[in-house]
Amino acid sequence: MKYTRTKIPDVILCEPKVFGDHRGYFMESFKEDSLEHFLGYKISFCQDNESSSTRGVLRGLHYQTNGFEQTKLVRVIQGSVIDVAVDIRKQSPTFGQHIAIELSAENKRQLLVPKGFAHGFIVTSNTAIFSYKVDAPYSSENERGIAFNDPDLQINWELNPNEFILSEKDKQNPLLKKAKLLNYNTKYYE
C-alpha cells in the first residue's frame, strides 16, 4: 500500500498495489500494521458500512460529536464518486479547507478521513457502491452536518446542481460558521 499525505496532511490517500492477470486482480484493501506504521498511532476500526447510490446522490457533509467522532477509511467498489473531507477542527491551521478527490472502482484509491473532519461524497457514475470502515459506532443523537453548498467552502462537486439528489436532512445542514463544532483534541501532522 502506498500512503500519501494530501494538502491537508492529516487526510491520507491510500493506493493499493494491484496484481492483475487474465483471471482478474488481487489487492490488499487494508493492512492495519502498515497504516499504523505510516500514521504513527494505533487505529482500531469497529464497523464496516456500505451504501448504494445513483448518479447525483450527494451524501454529506456529515460528522459526529460528543465522543462519537469517527475516523473513516473510505473506498468505492463499483462506479465513481467525488469524495470530500472538510477540516472542522477549530484550532487547526487548515480549518475550513477541504480535500476533494475522485475515488472509483477503477482507480481503487482510498481516503483516510480522521476525526475532526466533515465528510461527504457525490456519485458521478450511473451507480456506485461506497464502502467504509469506522473506528466509532454511528450515533444518530450525535450526528451533525454542514451545508454541502456553503459558499465559504467553495467545493466543486463536478456535477450540475440540477442533478443533485439529497436527503431532506442534508438539505437543512447549517453553514460551517453556524455549525456546532467541538474543540477536537486531534494531533495534527507536523
Question: What span, in angstroms and rounded, lies between the C-alpha atoms of 172 and 157?
Answer: 18
Annotation marks residue 62 as catalytic: yes
Residue 136 lies in a domain: yes
**DSSP per-residue string spanning 79-122:** SEEEEEEEE--TTSTTTT-EEEEEEETTT--EEEE-TTEEEEEE
Residue 36 lies in a domain: no
Residue 167 lies in a domain: yes
The CATH number of residue 102's host domain is 2.60.120.10
Question: What span, in angstroms and rounded, lies between the C-alpha atoms of 111 and 85?
Answer: 9
Annotation marks residue 138 as catalytic: no
Catalytic residue among 63, 98, 132, 184: 132
Q: Model pTM? A: 0.93
CB 48 within 8 A of CB 27: no
Tens of pLDDT, residues 31-52: 999 999 999 999 999 999 999 9
Residue 29 lies in a domain: no
pLDDT of residue 101: 98
Catalytic residue among 62, 98, 119, 184: 62
Residue 71 lies in a domain: yes
Tens of pLDDT, residues 149-186: 999 999 999 999 999 999 999 999 999 999 988 666 55
Q: Please give the residue range of the domain that contains residue 62.
A: 45-178
CB 161 within 8 A of CB 98: no
Tens of pLDDT, residues 92-104: 999 999 999 999 9
Residue 37 lies in a domain: no
Number of domains in the chain: 1
Residue 157 lies in a domain: yes
Question: What span, in angstroms and rounded, lies between the C-alpha atoms of 58 and 124?
Answer: 10
Task: Enumerate the H helices of 19-142 as residue ranges.
Answer: 32-39
